[in-house]
A and B are shown apart, each in its own frame.
Chain A
Amino acid sequence: MVDGTTIRLLSSEIVLLGVLAFLFLAGTFVRRAHGWWPVFTALAFAALLAIYGFVDRRFADFQISDSQGIVLNGPLVVDLFGLLLRQFALVIGLLLALLCWRRHEEELTSERMGMIVALVIGLLIVARANDLVLMFVGLETVSIPTYVLMFLGRRDRGSAESTMKYFFLSVFSSALVLYGFSFLFGLGGSTQLVGAGGIQEGVARAVAGSPASPLVPLALILLLGGLGFKITAVPFHFYAPDVYQGTTNSNAGLLSVAPKIAGFLALIRVYVAIVPERYDLGWQLPLGIAVLTMTLGNVCALWQRDLRRMLAYSSIAHSGYMLMGIASTVAAARSGGIAAVIFYLIAYSLTSLAVFGAFAFLESQDRPLQRLEDLSGLGKSNPLVATAIAVSMFSFAGIPILAGFWGKFGLFTSVLQAAQGAQGNASWFLFLAIAGAVNAAIAAAYYLRLISTMYFQEARGNLPLGGGLGPFATMLASTILIVGIGLFPGITMQRARLADESLPQPSSGTRMRAEHPPAQPGFQDLSRADEGSR
């Protein structure tokens, strides 16, 4: 039902749609001032973020708030989780607009920026969808601009191959997601996920019934399969190394961030919401996939000499870490797993953008940055960029006192909490924690190799530094954020925890969370979120 409230809830999407239309239309007429489009787009994101963050965050989401703090307005759910992730999506949009600003490319800049705006609209929708159809629309709104972005202005064979590969596999994964959704629809008799008569209740009914419905495992597997493509989870990871290697550094940065955020948001909104607690398969699947994903990602990354291929495997491994949080939250809702995943997602995305921003800054159109050896001697020739890359690598490796460390702190804590909370399954989660720790150590090997190449090897000729201001700004801003979050993790951590708490309650009633009803998150929680910055 579309009424005034829905329009108001969708106001940021509508504003961005206006920006998108302006970019496309004006872009066809104004062909000269191509350098201004990224600035304009970035400013649009910044303005929206300011409205969200300071002026009118109440208007944006919390004007309408019932006693539960959760508003189900048809297909939309309004909660702190959505608010936080929507703000973050705008930050990502801002950084991506800067990252994809190519200094020497005269054509198609406005189109590229428009695609980034479209992609952010998709993220905004996914962050708040409570409906299968809307969720799917949101996911596709993230995917389709990605295909276009990968192909825009690129004519070479490697790029074409990687784009086609990504396109076909992504379409295939969308089909899997849809297939899973159709089973969910069958189970719930509705497209609504949480709420009265929603899929959550249907699944709980099907699991409780005897004999238990065989459709539930099937739907969960299809769902994890389809979303597994987006988050590059094993065994659906195999496209990532080829695609990253074939495309440009800025596109690889985009690929490592946008689909992953969308995938994890969808996992939290759909998978975590509908799996009833004490349904063992519900946590066994992500647990197994997590162990496989991080181990395979890290071990394969050890052998890579190609920078983007290595980072592709690294991003696979990071998905594995985040799946640890999903597994522990499904097993024990009070483990704080979602908060940890949110924090890790933020830390990971910023770190990824810092690295790819630095790479995009270092290369130029005719001299792409490809091999690990290209970076040798960077510590001497360009200390600032080398520092940024080193900080990112240490953050990826989870070394204090950077954002990545607190991400791992949250994840390991949630896994151990699950080990305490999930009676009888403690040994599985202990195993998961140890696997995660061992992986963190393995991963450090290739991150350190990159650092040691930059600092301990002599330069082999200068890098062109042709990326221009945009990637440089992305790198700088992301690095500052990584260090800032690392020094003062409380602000982000507290918001992530509130977001976790605000997620819709499972209706099965057996979840541990139900024993401690939330104390009405709403306005007062926003002030508490500010207290968290202390």
Chain B
Amino acid sequence: MDNSQILLATVLLPLFGAILMGPCARAGDQVARGVALLVTCVTLYFASMVIHRFPADGGTGQAFAVFDYAWFVGADVAMAPAPRIQFNIGLDGLSVWLFGLSALLMVSAVLISWTAIRDRVGLFYGMLLLLESGCLGVFVARDILLFYVFFEFTLIPLFFLVGIWGSEDRRYAAMKFFLFTLAGSVLTFLGILALVLWDQHHSGTGQMRFMIDELTTGLRAHPLPPGLQSLVFLALFAGFAIKVPLFPLHTWLPLAHVQAPTAGSVILAGVLLKIGTYGFVRFSIPMLPDASRTFSPWMLWLAAIGIIYGALVALVQSDIKRLIAYSSVSHLGFCMLGLFAFNRPGVQGGTLQMINHGLSTGGLFAIVGLIYERYHTREIRDLSGLARRLPRLACCMLLFTFSSIGLPGLNGFAGEFLILLGIFQRAYSESAFAYQGQMLAIAVLSVSGVVLGAWYMLWLVQRLFFGPLREPAQHEPTQHDAAAGVRDLSPREFLALAPLLVFVIWIGLQPGFFLNRMGPTLSRLTDAARAPSPVVRFQNDPTMVRFASGQVSTRE
């Protein structure tokens, strides 16, 4: 099979697996689990095959392994040209690792749900596989409408995952999650349509083009006027910022995380939140570079506030899952900070941090799930000194914690370092004089977020795993271990965590391996927004404006 066919198989396989879950559920729960595991493993194998063949230097930044099928191409009628919507998928530097991350996390999600889910097992794994298909599809879609279709489609399985298998308040959480995201994404939909129609009316061909690449090129050649550009930026912002979630639109996230089953939390934190940041890099920044520049101080402020706010709220949480949910708000703030710095270190760091956050927070949520399975509580004050009882679990937890707080040598460090480098570079050398002060303030504030992050995470580990052993008295012994009390990590659980740990260490030791594959694409996407706007910089000096723009054009 050539690459594009493998890519197609990767996206469609979970879908078929989901359909297979119907008969499998009848054959028994164990069969459903086994088939789901098999499907996710084969998907992961296919995904890694494509990623393995991805050019090591990122190629030219163009898409790799493109599969194209004219999904919805009508003949033109005299009145108006037909929309051409294509089922066009491919990988590029931005999507390649997110794609791999989705496939990887799904295997872990299947493994950690093995004994935690006992009710309607077939349906559960069916929904999980549907979700996998949606996640993989979002990242590989090269047609803007196809992206939107997958983007919205991911809502349905997660809605059911939270609503059926969640905790006490699951109904409210599922509804709130769905409605929040939908409210944003319908506005995003309008924004997307506005982009396509603008391109149609100004490209000269009169075609309605939906391919992201063509659209980006087209919108560069004949950009939207500033007012409209800001309006469309805000429309796209509505959907993506809710998904990220950017402060103050984050309120659905802690609720959804706390109520979701473990697998749901892992995927939500690991993959689904990234769709928001991905949307900013894929659409907002390259298609609306001027508006992105105009709004970047606002975005950076929101990101910085999110970093500090998320960290402070995480400090005072008494529920482990809620704490990690708020830490996600803080970490995603870092991603946004890097992306909207627009320079190479910032954008690369921001993208790398998406992967890092997926690995570390995915792992942390998985561990919280494992603790909950053992003690049926998520209250921090009920637990203490668990390292004596669960040494291997504690070890994994510690590694994920260090990754999350950015210990050098682990993946978090590479990402956070690049982001901070990017934002300081932006503050010192790439901002108009008038903005320099506030850029510095943002940069310094976000550094304090790193300190706060270390504080709440290490404090959590200390309270949970060290000190005198304290377990909830009345916890029910599970069936395996009536005598020995609570068991440490089983091989199955270890297998769920180990692949994540491998990548945590790998990215930490060899970030270049990952960054090289992203570089060219990211430059292509964000350079338009980066080119320092001469109008802003030298507003009062027309000769400088000409000079600066000339300089920019020769450098490009």
Q: Which residues of A contact B (CB under 8 A)?
A: 333-334, 336, 379-380, 394, 397-401, 405, 409, 412-413, 416-417, 420, 433-434, 437-438, 440-441, 444-445, 448-449, 451-452, 455-457, 488-490, 493-494, 497-498, 500-501, 513, 516-519, 521, 525, 528, 531-532, 534
Residue of A nearest to B119 (CB): A380
Instruction: Decide: B187 and A437 in contact? CB cutoff 8 A.
Output: yes
- Residues of A within 8 Å of B145, CB to CB, are 409
Residue of A nearest to B183 (CB): A441
- Residues of A within 8 Å of B153, CB to CB, are 399-401
Q: How many A-B residue pairs have CB under 8 A?
A: 122
Known: A448-B175, A456-B174. 16 other contacts (CB 8 A): A336-B79, A394-B156, A397-B182, A399-B152, A399-B155, A416-B194, A433-B190, A434-B190, A440-B186, A444-B179, A448-B178, A451-B159, A455-B160, A501-B78, A519-B78, A532-B74
Q: Looking at the assembled complex, report how far the CB atom of A488 sits from the nearest CB atom of chain B, in whole angstroms.
A: 7
- Residues of A within 8 Å of B71, CB to CB, are 490
Instruction: Decide: B171 and A413 in contact? CB cutoff 8 A.
Output: no
Task: Pick from A394, A441, A452, A531: contact of B163, CB below 8 A.
Answer: A452
Instruction: Decide: A412 and B193 in contact? CB cutoff 8 A.
Output: yes
Q: Does B390 contact A (CB under 8 A)?
A: no
Instruction: Decide: B197 and A416 in contact? CB cutoff 8 A.
Output: yes
Q: Looking at the assembled complex, report how far the CB atom of B241 sits from the nearest CB atom of chain A, in whole angstroms.
A: 15
Q: How far apart sit A87 and B324, CA to CA, in the bound complex (Å)?
A: 57
- Residues of B within 8 Å of A488, CB to CB, are 72
Q: How far apart sit A497 and B74, CA to CA, in the bound complex (Å)?
A: 9
Residue of B nearest to A400 (CB): B149
Q: How far apart sit A28 and B198, CA to CA, in the bound complex (Å)?
A: 63
Q: Does B82 contact A (CB under 8 A)?
A: yes
Q: How far apart sit A444 and B176, CA to CA, in the bound complex (Å)?
A: 11
Instruction: Decide: A493 and B74 in contact? CB cutoff 8 A.
Output: yes
Q: How far apart sit A518 and B78, CA to CA, in the bound complex (Å)?
A: 5
- Residues of B within 8 Å of A380, CB to CB, are 120
Instruction: Decide: A531 and B152 in contact? CB cutoff 8 A.
Output: no
- Pairs A–B under 8 Å by Cβ, sample size 24: A336-B79, A379-B164, A380-B120, A397-B182, A400-B149, A401-B149, A413-B83, A413-B197, A417-B197, A420-B197, A437-B190, A441-B183, A448-B178, A449-B175, A452-B174, A456-B170, A456-B174, A457-B171, A490-B73, A501-B78, A501-B79, A516-B79, A521-B77, A532-B82
How many residues of chain B are within 8 Å of chain A by beta carbon? Answer: 42
Q: How far apart sit A451 and B193, CA to CA, in the bound complex (Å)?
A: 29
Query: Per-position contact with A for B187-212: 1 when CB-CB < 8 Å, else 0?
Result: 10110011001100100000000000
Instruction: Decide: B163 and A534 in contact? CB cutoff 8 A.
Output: no
Instruction: Decide: A493 and B163 in contact? CB cutoff 8 A.
Output: no
- Residues of A within 8 Å of B171, CB to CB, are 452, 456-457
Known: A420-B201, A456-B170. A532 touches B187 (CB 8 A): no
- Residues of A within 8 Å of B417, CB to CB, are none
Q: How far apart sit A532 and B76, CA to CA, in the bound complex (Å)?
A: 9
Question: Top 3 closest A-B pairs, CB basis?
Answer: A441-B183, A400-B149, A494-B74
Q: Looking at the assembled complex, report how far the CB atom of B25 sits from the nearest CB atom of chain A, in whole angstroms.
A: 10
Instruction: Decide: A445 and B190 in contact? CB cutoff 8 A.
Output: no
Instruction: Decide: B159 and A448 in contact? CB cutoff 8 A.
Output: yes
Instruction: Decide: A441 and B179 in contact? CB cutoff 8 A.
Output: yes
Residue of B nearest to A333 (CB): B79
Residue of A nearest to B202 (CB): A420
Task: Pick from B75, B164, B189: contact of A455, CB below 8 A.
Answer: B164
Instruction: Decide: A444 and B182 in contact? CB cutoff 8 A.
Output: yes
Residue of A nearest to B170 (CB): A456
- Residues of A within 8 Å of B198, CB to CB, are 420
Interface centre among A379, A405, A416, A490 (most CB of B within 10 A): A490
